[in-house]
Amino acid sequence: MPPTTATALTSWAKAIRKALDAAGQDSARLFAEAGLDPALLDDPSARYPVAATARLWRHAVAATGDDAFGLTVARHVGQTTFHALGYALGASATLHEAFERMLRYFAVVSDVAELGFDETLDGWRFSIRTDGAATPPADEAIDAFLALIVRLCRGLLGRREFAPRLVRLRRAAPRHRTAFERLFRAPLQFSADENALYLDAAVLHEPLDGAHPELARHNDEIVQRYLERLQRDDIVARVRAAITGLLSRGEPGAAAVAAALHLSERSLQRRLAESGTRYSTLLRDTRHQLACSYLRDPRASIGEIAWLLGFGDQSSFTRAFRRWENCSPSAYRDRAVSRS
């Protein structure tokens, strides 16, 4: 079962920002409304809580009026979106090997979903399952992921005409159905009982021109080390993610965060102590980091930022910020804007 507070690489959100900017939308405002710190987009190993990225997807679809927005985002995704896994996939010997590698290491991309790769009577089925997720990803996130997989297959094969035999999506049929038809070039089933691509067996075993076993192994090792580090840092990262997701409802206490993580408050405090920190420190540091990031955007009012950070009023936020930076939020913003 996916973890309660699931996370995903920020590189997905980076692609969303590119798509929003290309559409002339105010991406900074939408990130702030979703409770996401845009400063993390420059860290290729950073992660966002899936609950917050799902909010970003909803805001993006509402702003653009495009219910095929996931397909647009897929066009802004690069090889590094999958961290080192992207390079390992590109060095795979066959598509079959690439799909198996994706299954093995998908947690590096997101831990909200489970992938399946199963043989059928006349081919193979590649599926993404989110059953049991506390906050499932947005429909558009699934659209983007499956569109990206099809684009990846075309790139690895060097054939733009590659298409799955069938695409099944749990989402309702979109208004912009033609966008799906153009991208997948396959029969489409909406309101299905799964999110899956059905693939011909023969194409999965064709040798790929980019095959490079040594490069694939090297990047596999990088991915393994990243996942090991993620596991070690897991409790701190998950507490930060839970705090970020709960802040707009007010200041979250340790009990609320522990409940979100399906832990007792005592267990939470003990595990944080074992990691060399405590809850009050993480709450303060998370608020401080988000505050500095939000203040760099002159379009968000101080009052809005106070609300996003869970403060009861603007004056409480101002007092806290003075303790952190020894200046008022307005003074910090003026300095930050003058430097940009």
Residues 60 and 22: their CA atoms lie apart, in Å, by 12
Asked if the structure places residue 124 within a domain, the reply is yes
DSSP characters over 81-133: GGTHHHHHHHT-SSHHHHHHHHHHHGGGTBSS-EEEEEEETTEEEEEEE-TT-
Residues 317 and 321: their CA atoms lie apart, in Å, by 6
pTM: 0.71
- Kindly indicate the confidence band of residue 175, based on its pLDDT and cuts at 50, 70 and 90: very high
Asked if the structure places residue 2 within a domain, the reply is no
What pLDDT is recorded for position 1?
33
Are residues 34 and 101 both part of a single domain?
yes
Are residues 287 and 213 both part of a single domain?
no
Characterize the bridge pairing of strands 123-129 and 196-199.
antiparallel
| Greater model confidence, 111 or 174 | 174
83: domain CATH number is: 3.90.1520
Domain end marker among 178, 202, 230:
230
For 126-137, the pLDDT digits (tens) are 999 987 666 778
User: Closest Cα to residue 71, out of 149, 131, 1, 3?
Assistant: 149
Are residues 28 and 159 both part of a single domain?
yes
User: Closest Cα to residue 142, out of 166, 122, 112?
Assistant: 112
Domain end marker among 205, 230, 255:
230
Domain end marker among 182, 209, 230:
230
Whether residue 169 has pLDDT greater than 50:
yes
The domain in which residue 187 lies consists of 7-230
What pLDDT is recorded for position 83?
84
Those residues with Cβ within 8 angstroms of residue 110's Cβ, 6 or more apart along the chain or in another chain:
6, 7, 8, 9, 12, 50, 137
Are residues 173 and 211 both part of a single domain?
yes
Asked if the structure places residue 314 within a domain, the reply is yes
314: domain CATH number is: 1.10.10.60
Total domain count, the chain = 2
Are residues 194 and 241 both part of a single domain?
no
For 21-56, the pLDDT digits (tens) are 999 999 999 998 888 888 888 887 888 888 889 899
Is the alpha carbon torsion for 314, 318, 321, 323 positive or negative? negative
Are residues 200 and 95 both part of a single domain?
yes
Are residues 189 and 297 both part of a single domain?
no
Asked if the structure places residue 93 within a domain, the reply is yes
Are residues 238 and 165 both part of a single domain?
no
Are residues 60 and 99 both part of a single domain?
yes
What pLDDT is recorded for position 168?
98
Are residues 211 and 276 both part of a single domain?
no
